[in-house]
Amino acid sequence: MSGQLQSGSVFAGFRIERLLGAGGMGEVYLAVDRDLPRLVALKVLNRIAATDDATRRRFLREADTVARLSHPNIITILSRGEEDDRLWIAMEYVDGPDLATQLQDGPLELERVAAITRSVALALDYAHDAGVLHRDVKPANILVGSDPGRRTLLTDFGIATSIHDERGLTETGHMLASLRYAAPERFHGAIAIDRTSDIYSLGCTVFEMLAGKPPFDATEPSRLMYSHVNETIPALSTVNPHVPAQLDAVIARAMAKDPHRRFATCTHLAQAVAAALAGRPVAVKPPPPPAANGVSAIFPGIDRAPRHRRAQTDSATSGPHRRPATPRNRRQLTIAALATLVVATGATVAAAISSDSDADGVAAPTTTTTKTSPTTTTLAAIPVAGCEIRRDHISASGTFPGGETSGMDAIFAFEYAYYVQRSGTAARRVVAHDATNISSAEDIQRGIDSTPKGTRYCVIIAFEGPSDAGTERWAVQLLHQSPGEKLIVFDQIITTRTTDGRTHLVSITEA
């Protein structure tokens, strides 16, 4: 458990007022500054996440990065430190929701969209000129103040990097991004990234502000990646009739598959958005459609149909950047430890793609037919390279068959049914009958059938604590590697419930 701080307590000299949000990596609190009579947002890394060196470095890098960026539209870092083995960052407090929370009520007014886009564009261009790529631009990382001026600030630079980092990879050789807003070049480690990747993400954000949903809103990570690389962006004017048709070309250019066909700067994008929304002429040449074979020509390594993970319905998204917990002692399993915090009630997806996959040429194991369902086969469980087989009362990793005796067992059983038994029916046996966002056995089976036999996997679980209605909350990291492909890491928050001695999954949300 993360050990949340209580209201009225003092931590590192800050008096805790209340919890603003919490998630797998830690919490964000409203606190009274230890030196001045003002309120601050105090981000605290929990003890489980703090055991991972890469997570600690990324957490501290956020403070270092933002501290050297002084701009009215970028959140201000006030101080940082460590108390009781827990890292913390004190930041400027913005009295108002993030943009993701506001978008739960639907699209924004056209004038507000233009104003928010301009503010974020100014912040991004300033960061870019200072040599910093944000790499995770999305509504949850944009704060909108409740003051009359509705000041807009860009936050959460936890996975920011130097603009000179040509491949955009983390120190472990993996790409981190929120998939709904990630530029297609982010999924191919051999392609250099630059400011145009942030421009693409800003284009996704503009689309969502006007449509009330992102341009690609599938819940399956593999489908999202495939859409960004291959599919045409939906026309905004057909989603929201109040949007001028000329804005379609603006979004299409901002989200061009080829980075060289996008706007040169975020400000250029913001100016085009403002002109289009105001009904003024905008001279924008739309990018060409995707290649005839459905695959962008600039991604030779992505040349096949998407691998469907599983179908889920959308969960609500709100709060600043969301990240799952990271179990203890992961060693090399710390493939996608994300440094920023989940700070409210929803979730987004993060993916990590290996730059040095070792699965090429791995032969699929011998298979035998099972009678679980007409299309399923039982395989030998093949964990990804380095999958640590271990378990204690609050965390575990491996490919255990699982069961129904605990939340941890139910999670293992679900994934074992998916990868080893290859049975949607078996997977649904550990799902509660009233689960609302986990697919039917038939839909799960469709995802299984599109997952190649011989796919390696590993499940990493950490207990987060009890939730409402007698459920338990678990941070889950699923490592997935199809034969001959690169490693992908899916981060999820899973809730379980035990009734009459049997435990079932209640919900699966992307983290």
Per-residue pLDDT of 255-287, as tens digits, reads 999 999 999 999 999 999 999 999 998 877 656
Question: Where is mean pLDDT largest: 6-20, 57-71, 218-232?
Answer: 6-20
Q: Is 136 annotated in the active site?
A: yes
Q: What pLDDT is recorded for position 318?
A: 34
User: Does the pLDDT of residue 355 top 60, yes or no?
Assistant: no
Q: What is the rounded average pLDDT of the residues 5-22?
A: 91
Between 83-87, 133-137, 341-345, the lowest mean confidence (pLDDT) is in 341-345
**Taking all residues of the chain, what is their mean pLDDT, rounded to a whole number?**
76
Model pLDDT for residues 452-506, shown as the tens digit of each residue: 888 899 999 988 888 777 899 998 888 888 787 667 777 788 999 999 999 999 9
Alpha-carbon distance 76 to 67, whole Å?
7
Alpha-carbon distance 253 to 271, whole Å?
13
User: Does the pLDDT of residue 360 top 90, yes or no?
Assistant: no
CA 500 from chain center: how many Å?
Answer: 35
- State percent of the chain over pLDDT 90: 41
Q: What is the rounded average pLDDT of the residues 75-88?
A: 90
What six digits make up the tokens of 365? 């194991």
Is 99 buried (19+), middle (13-18) or exposed (0-12) by CB count in 10 A? buried
Between 150-159, 271-280, 382-391, the lowest mean confidence (pLDDT) is in 150-159
- Reported as a pLDDT band with limits 50, 70 and 90, residue 115 is very high
Domains along the chain? 10-92 (3.30.200.20), 99-277 (1.10.510.10), 357-510 (3.10.450.50)
Neighbours of 271 (CB within 10 A): 18
486 labelled binding-site residue: no
Q: Please, what is the Cα angle at 53 between 47 and 57, to 5 degrees?
A: 100
Model pLDDT for residues 414-424, shown as the tens digit of each residue: 999 999 999 99
Alpha-carbon distance 88 to 161, whole Å?
20
User: Does the pLDDT of residue 56 top 90, yes or no?
Assistant: no
* Dihedral sign, Cα of residue 25, residue 29, residue 34, residue 38: positive
Q: What is the rounded average pLDDT of the residues 52-68?
A: 78
Helix (H) or strand (E) holding 63: helix 53-67
Q: What pLDDT is recorded for position 290?
A: 52
What six digits make up the tokens of 156? 């959460």
User: Does the pLDDT of residue 332 top 50, yes or no?
Assistant: no
User: Does the pLDDT of residue 329 top 50, yes or no?
Assistant: no
Alpha-carbon distance 88 to 82, whole Å?
6
- 3-state helix/strand/coil string of 128-192: HHCCEECCCCCHHHEEECCCCCCCEEECCCCCCEECCCCCCCCCCCECCEEHHHCCHHHHCCCCC
Residues 16, 314: contact at Cβ < 8 Å? no
The pTM of the full predicted model, rounded to 2 decimals, is: 0.65
| Residue of 52, 98, 125, 136 marked active site | 136
- Reported as a pLDDT band with limits 50, 70 and 90, residue 117 is very high
Q: What is the rounded average pLDDT of the residues 36-53?
A: 82
Is 369 buried (19+), middle (13-18) or exposed (0-12) by CB count in 10 A? exposed
138 or 354, higher pLDDT: 138
- 3-state helix/strand/coil string of 448-511: HHCCCCCCEEEEEEEEEEECHHHEEEEEEEEEEECCCCCCEEEEEEEEEEEECCEEEEEEEEEC
What would you measure as the largest C-alpha separation in the chain, in angstroms?
69
Q: What is the rounded average pLDDT of the residues 413-435?
A: 93
281 or 187, higher pLDDT: 281
Q: What pLDDT is recorded for position 4?
A: 81
